[in-house]
Amino acid sequence: MYELRRWWDRFGVPFSLAALGLGTALLVRQTQAGFVMETYQWFTRPFQSKPVLPEQLATAQNNELRQRLIELESKNQKLEELLGLARSKPVKGIPAPIIGRSADHWWQQVTLGRGTNDGVKKGAVVLSPGGLVGRVTQTTASTSRVLLLSDPSSHVGVVISRSRFMGYLRGKTGNRAVVEFFEKVPDVRKDDVVTTSSFSQLFPAGIPVGRVESVDLTKSPAPEATIELTAPINYLEWAIIYPHTPALATPQPAPQPAASPLPEATIAPEGSSASPSPTALPSPTP
């Protein structure tokens, strides 16, 4: 007994630790560390987020579907506007999506998803619902690069529709442009409509460009007017490519409704009365 106590005093603690470690290892092996996971979850439960309820999941799915519906409605509206523009022109155009636009050249150029394989040629006119967008400067088999009106290097001959005073338009890096007039005192007012002029060689005459936002008659060497472009260049997604032809400024006539046929008239023979015969009445009873 004394020897056992001496052994325990000497080796009891290491033996107990070894037995505890061996038992723990056997327990972990038998239970696949399930109790460790439960212990971890119990300690971390106060820091865990609440589980997602079925109602929350359904609300999230409804919000996603609602956002998709709004996006589809917006795209459908833009395509309807594009279709209306195509129908208003007597010339057949080529609808093209915007597939490329650099952040460094956002107001200078865009890339369209149509090229020479689709019949696009250099110098073609690009329109969108609202007015003139620009012209095609480069083409490949499947793409076209468009120089926008908002590019400072873009110069277009324009005219004030009301007074017929002319000038040339240059881009201003934004949805704005500047018109420099040829006359010293042009007749121009705010909200005047600006279109391409008949002296413009890059675009046909009469295409809407924008509206006058402000006028500076003291500008040297020539008076200037700031123009707000009517084409949505800042958020352009679709456009239509047209050949360079004067017919672009001619609106397509609205189809006339078919006239309803008139009822056929009965022509009475010559010498006879055209009035209908009276209806025979029954003879009175005696």
Domain borders along the chain are 2-47, 93-249
Q: What is the DSSP string of 118-153?
A: GT--TT-EEEETTEEEEEEEEE-SS-EEEEETTSTT
pLDDT of residue 81: 64
Each residue's pLDDT tens digit, 113-137:
999 999 999 999 999 988 899 999 9
Q: Binning pLDDT at 50, 70 and 90, where does residue 17 land? A: confident
Q: From 208, 199, 192, select the one nearest 125 (Cα to Cα).
A: 208
Each residue's pLDDT tens digit, 180-226:
999 988 999 999 999 999 888 889 999 999 999 999 988 888 899 99
**CATH 2.40.10.340 holds for 93-249:** yes
User: Ramachandran region of residue 181, left (φ > 0), alpha (ψ -120 to 50) or beta?
Assistant: beta
Highest mean predicted confidence (pLDDT) among 86-100, 142-156, 267-281:
142-156
User: Ramachandran region of residue 191, left (φ > 0), alpha (ψ -120 to 50) or beta?
Assistant: left
- The angle subtended at Cα 76 by Cα 74 and Cα 82, nearest 5°, is 105
